[in-house]
Amino acid sequence: MSRIVYVNGEYLPEEDAKISIFDRGFLMADGVYEVTSILDGKLIDFPGHAKRLERSLGELDMANPVTMDELLAIHRALVAKNDIVEGLVYLQITRGAPGDRDFAFPDPAETPSTIVLFTQNKPGLADSPAAKKGTKVISIEDIRWGRRDIKTVQLLYPSMGKMMAKKAGCDDAWMVEDGFVTEGTSNNAYIVKGGKIITRELSTDILHGITRAAVLRLAAEAQMEVEERNFTIDEAKQADEAFTTSASAFVMPVVEIDGVALGDGTPGAIAKRLREIYLEESRKTAI
């Protein structure tokens, strides 16, 4: 049985889903997206994702075709229709299909936004083998556009970064700009030194991670010291441990950077504890 997906107000088998070739998401990467994790059949951090979606749409002057209540109902319907216990819901909204290609934005009164959602079944999402052994990252130059705080579908360079890491026998890449780490290809980056968690502060240089916000709040509640500032790759290589956060991987330990092992080369105590706390609290507050 194929997945049931959502396209512009309809629930359809995935093989019947269609989008116009003139859709600006396809032609111009003129769209935004969100990914919400599912644990125990419930949505993790949904209010945060919904709020960030509204912000992304607002920054791009793009119309939202649904209310947040409607969006929640669609998420829940897809989880139920596809019987997802652990997995993801992917959401994408584009500026729509005006009927021809043009650099100028179409009038939103005449061209409605396109909205698409689908699920991905990921059994064992919370009990990830990668989290037990840790991941290895390389560093690459950050050459993305300047508004990384908007969660757009412009993901070509992050995809290339993932492939660079794969070719190097690693799991991911941390991007570096003006000598400082910005973030991972699909996650926020952290190092730990002397028990202190260090991560780049929020700005237009990085995505305002929903998992990032939750993890930093939980770290503060656990009386862990957090410092939001820039750090270099050389500083990262000398760290006691490192980790990343994202909606789909939660808290993921990093054990090697550019071939340099951190600590004893295994996931650090702080990263492991934060993952435990995050999963525990997320399950309690899931909707």
Q: Structure tokens of 163?
A: 């492939």
pLDDT recorded at residue 126: 94
Which of the following is catalytic: 136, 151, 162, 272?
151
Q: Judge contact between 56 and 267, C-beta under 8 A.
A: no
Same domain, 186 and 248: yes
Same domain, 36 and 91: yes
Active site annotation includes 151: yes
pLDDT recorded at residue 154: 96
Q: Structure tokens of 188?
A: 């926020």
What span, in angstroms and rounded, lies between the C-alpha atoms of 193 and 230? 14
Same domain, 234 and 143: yes
pLDDT over threshold 80, residue 252: yes
The rounded mean pLDDT for the chain is 97
Q: What is the CATH number of the domain that holds 198?
A: 3.20.10.10
* Residue 1 pLDDT class (50, 70, 90 cuts): low
What span, in angstroms and rounded, lies between the C-alpha atoms of 134 and 253? 5
Q: Judge contact between 192 and 226, C-beta under 8 A.
A: no
DSSP result, 215-268: HHHHHHHTT-EEEE---BHHHHHTSSEEEEEETTTEEEEEEEETTEEPTTSS--
pLDDT over threshold 80, residue 144: yes
CA distances from 273 to 149, 188, 217 (A): 28, 17, 14
Domain count, the chain: 2
Average pLDDT over residues 62-86: 97
Same domain, 73 and 133: no
Q: Which amino acid is at 95?
A: R
Same domain, 167 and 103: no
Q: What is the CATH number of the domain that holds 37?
A: 3.30.470.10
Same domain, 157 and 259: yes
DSSP 112: P
Express each pLDDT in 103-128 by its tens digit: 999 999 999 999 999 999 999 999 99
Domain span at residue 151 reads: 129-285
Same domain, 152 and 113: no
pLDDT over threshold 90, residue 56: yes
Same domain, 137 and 114: no
Q: Judge contact between 239 and 233, C-beta under 8 A.
A: no
Angle at the Cα of 266 from the Cα atoms of 263 and 267, rounded to 5 degrees: 100
Express each pLDDT in 220-248 by its tens digit: 999 999 999 999 999 999 999 999 999 99
Average pLDDT over residues 194-219: 97
Same domain, 14 and 156: no
- 118: closest CA among 92, 93, 151? 92
